[in-house]
Amino acid sequence: MTQSAASLGPVPVLPNYLDEQLVTRMGIEILRCEPDLVVGTMPVRGNRQPIGIMHGGANAVLAETLGSLAAWVHAGPDRIIVGQELSCTHHHAVRSGLVTGVCRPLHVGRGVATYEIVISDERERRACTARLTCALPQPRRQTRPAKDS
Protein backbone atom coordinates (compact mmCIF):
# COMPACT_ATOMS: atom_id res chain seq x y z
CA MET A 1 0.00 0.00 0.00
CA THR A 2 1.30 3.42 -0.80
CA GLN A 3 0.74 6.47 1.28
CA SER A 4 1.33 10.04 0.27
CA ALA A 5 2.02 13.14 2.29
CA ALA A 6 -1.63 14.05 1.72
CA SER A 7 -3.02 10.82 3.20
CA LEU A 8 -2.40 8.11 5.75
CA GLY A 9 -3.88 4.98 4.27
CA PRO A 10 -7.44 6.02 3.38
CA VAL A 11 -7.41 9.06 5.68
CA PRO A 12 -6.87 12.42 3.98
CA VAL A 13 -4.56 14.80 5.85
CA LEU A 14 -5.85 18.35 6.00
CA PRO A 15 -3.54 20.63 3.99
CA ASN A 16 -2.72 22.87 6.97
CA TYR A 17 -1.30 19.86 8.84
CA LEU A 18 0.78 18.11 6.17
CA ASP A 19 4.07 19.07 7.87
CA GLU A 20 2.87 18.15 11.37
CA GLN A 21 2.15 14.42 11.13
CA LEU A 22 3.43 12.33 14.04
CA VAL A 23 3.59 9.21 11.85
CA THR A 24 6.15 10.98 9.66
CA ARG A 25 8.33 11.89 12.66
CA MET A 26 8.08 8.33 14.00
CA GLY A 27 8.85 6.74 10.62
CA ILE A 28 5.61 4.75 10.51
CA GLU A 29 4.77 3.09 7.19
CA ILE A 30 1.36 1.56 6.50
CA LEU A 31 1.70 -1.73 4.60
CA ARG A 32 -1.94 -2.93 4.55
CA CYS A 33 -5.18 -1.21 5.38
CA GLU A 34 -8.22 -3.44 5.02
CA PRO A 35 -11.43 -3.76 7.05
CA ASP A 36 -10.14 -6.62 9.24
CA LEU A 37 -6.38 -6.10 9.00
CA VAL A 38 -4.12 -3.08 9.28
CA VAL A 39 -0.34 -3.61 9.24
CA GLY A 40 2.40 -1.05 9.70
CA THR A 41 6.08 -0.80 10.55
CA MET A 42 8.18 1.61 12.58
CA PRO A 43 11.94 1.84 13.06
CA VAL A 44 13.51 1.56 16.49
CA ARG A 45 16.06 4.19 15.47
CA GLY A 46 14.76 7.59 16.47
CA ASN A 47 12.17 6.09 18.84
CA ARG A 48 14.35 5.04 21.78
CA GLN A 49 14.47 5.52 25.52
CA PRO A 50 17.73 6.99 26.90
CA ILE A 51 19.01 3.45 27.64
CA GLY A 52 18.78 2.41 23.97
CA ILE A 53 15.60 0.32 23.80
CA MET A 54 12.42 1.26 21.98
CA HIS A 55 10.32 3.72 23.93
CA GLY A 56 7.02 2.32 25.20
CA GLY A 57 5.31 5.51 24.04
CA ALA A 58 6.48 4.75 20.50
CA ASN A 59 4.67 1.40 20.74
CA ALA A 60 1.57 3.32 21.85
CA VAL A 61 1.82 5.69 18.86
CA LEU A 62 2.10 2.78 16.43
CA ALA A 63 -0.80 0.94 18.10
CA GLU A 64 -3.09 3.97 18.12
CA THR A 65 -2.24 4.78 14.51
CA LEU A 66 -3.08 1.27 13.29
CA GLY A 67 -6.21 0.94 15.42
CA SER A 68 -7.51 4.35 14.39
CA LEU A 69 -7.02 3.52 10.71
CA ALA A 70 -8.90 0.25 11.21
CA ALA A 71 -11.77 2.13 12.87
CA TRP A 72 -11.79 4.67 10.04
CA VAL A 73 -12.04 1.91 7.43
CA HIS A 74 -14.88 0.31 9.40
CA ALA A 75 -16.84 3.52 10.03
CA GLY A 76 -16.41 5.18 6.65
CA PRO A 77 -14.94 8.43 5.37
CA ASP A 78 -17.73 10.70 6.63
CA ARG A 79 -16.97 9.91 10.29
CA ILE A 80 -14.29 11.29 12.61
CA ILE A 81 -12.70 8.60 14.76
CA VAL A 82 -11.91 9.40 18.38
CA GLY A 83 -9.62 7.20 20.50
CA GLN A 84 -11.21 6.51 23.90
CA GLU A 85 -8.87 4.10 25.61
CA LEU A 86 -5.45 2.65 24.88
CA SER A 87 -3.61 0.09 26.96
CA CYS A 88 -0.20 -1.38 26.16
CA THR A 89 1.55 -4.33 27.74
CA HIS A 90 5.27 -4.40 26.96
CA HIS A 91 6.66 -7.94 26.78
CA HIS A 92 10.08 -7.71 25.20
CA ALA A 93 12.63 -4.90 24.75
CA VAL A 94 13.58 -4.14 21.16
CA ARG A 95 17.01 -2.62 20.53
CA SER A 96 17.27 -2.29 16.75
CA GLY A 97 15.62 -2.79 13.38
CA LEU A 98 11.94 -2.43 12.59
CA VAL A 99 8.89 -3.43 14.57
CA THR A 100 5.70 -4.51 12.83
CA GLY A 101 2.24 -3.89 14.20
CA VAL A 102 -0.68 -6.09 13.21
CA CYS A 103 -4.13 -4.78 14.08
CA ARG A 104 -7.25 -6.94 14.12
CA PRO A 105 -10.75 -6.16 15.38
CA LEU A 106 -12.07 -7.52 18.65
CA HIS A 107 -15.45 -5.77 18.34
CA VAL A 108 -16.83 -3.46 15.67
CA GLY A 109 -20.17 -1.80 16.18
CA ARG A 110 -21.98 1.32 15.05
CA GLY A 111 -20.78 3.52 17.89
CA VAL A 112 -17.62 1.87 19.18
CA ALA A 113 -14.84 -0.37 17.88
CA THR A 114 -12.10 -2.20 19.79
CA TYR A 115 -8.89 -3.56 18.30
CA GLU A 116 -5.96 -5.69 19.38
CA ILE A 117 -2.60 -4.58 18.06
CA VAL A 118 0.35 -6.97 18.33
CA ILE A 119 3.77 -5.39 17.83
CA SER A 120 6.66 -7.75 17.05
CA ASP A 121 10.36 -7.40 16.32
CA GLU A 122 12.11 -8.62 13.17
CA ARG A 123 12.50 -12.09 14.69
CA GLU A 124 8.71 -12.17 15.20
CA ARG A 125 9.02 -11.96 18.99
CA ARG A 126 6.05 -10.19 20.56
CA ALA A 127 7.25 -6.89 21.99
CA CYS A 128 3.91 -5.32 22.88
CA THR A 129 0.22 -6.14 22.96
CA ALA A 130 -2.08 -3.15 22.81
CA ARG A 131 -5.82 -2.73 22.92
CA LEU A 132 -7.50 0.37 21.50
CA THR A 133 -11.14 1.38 21.79
CA CYS A 134 -12.39 4.11 19.46
CA ALA A 135 -15.65 6.04 19.54
CA LEU A 136 -17.33 6.31 16.15
CA PRO A 137 -19.49 9.42 16.46
CA GLN A 138 -22.24 9.87 13.91
CA PRO A 139 -21.53 12.50 11.26
CA ARG A 140 -22.95 15.89 12.03
CA ARG A 141 -26.11 16.69 10.17
CA GLN A 142 -26.09 19.89 8.24
CA THR A 143 -29.01 22.14 8.98
CA ARG A 144 -30.92 23.42 6.02
CA PRO A 145 -32.39 26.89 5.90
CA ALA A 146 -36.15 26.98 6.35
CA LYS A 147 -38.18 27.31 3.15
CA ASP A 148 -40.31 30.37 2.72
CA SER A 149 -43.97 29.46 2.46
Question: For residue 145, with 0-12 CB atoms within 10 Å meaning exposed, 13-18 middle and 19 or more buried, which class applies?
Answer: exposed
Burial class (CB in 10 A: 0-12, 13-18, 19+), 73: buried
Of the candidates 32, 65, 26, 24, the one whose C-alpha atom is nearest the C-alpha of residue 46 is 26
Q: Is 124 assigned a catalytic role?
A: no
What is the longest distance spanned by two Cα atoms in the chain? 73
Residue among 20, 29, 64, 122 flagged as catalytic: 64
* C-alpha dihedral sign at 29, 63, 23, 98: negative
Contacts of 131 (CB under 8 A, 6+ apart): 85, 86, 87, 106, 114, 115, 116, 117
Active site residues: 64
